[in-house]
Amino acid sequence: MHTPENEPGAETPDAGGAHDGHGSHGYSAHRDELLKRLRRAEGQVRGIHGMIERDEYCIDVITQVSAATKALERVALALLDDHLSHCVAEAAGQGGAVSAAKLKEASDAIARLVR
């Protein structure tokens, strides 16, 4: 199965970033909504592919790329919000190195989003 983790050049989480089996992920309660948003973004990307195949006007293609990018950014922000309110909050309760590692992980994720 193809996943983003096995993309060339993809960053892989270190042991501190891996799910530690403590239960569900923070996004589990919103999983259906996230999947719906991802299906919508996937459809937008397929539409962009078709626009390129049909040699459509470049500004129209760019407009659709922008819309797909925003859709994926909304997914990323929802995941980040869930991560902060679930995983980071739980780690903060543990304190020490676990808390520091989760805060660093979240900070790094935010930095990747704003690049």
Q: What is the pLDDT of residues 21-50, one digit of tens each?
A: 455 777 877 889 999 999 999 999 999 999
What pLDDT shows up at residue 23? 57
Is the whole model's pTM more than 0.75, yes or no? no
- 91 touches 101 (CB < 8 A): yes
What pLDDT shows up at residue 43? 96
Q: What is the pLDDT of residues 89-115, one digit of tens each?
A: 888 889 899 999 999 999 999 999 888
Tokens of 70: 């925003």
Query: Which parts of the chain fold into alpha helices (H)?
Result: 31-53, 58-83, 89-94, 96-114
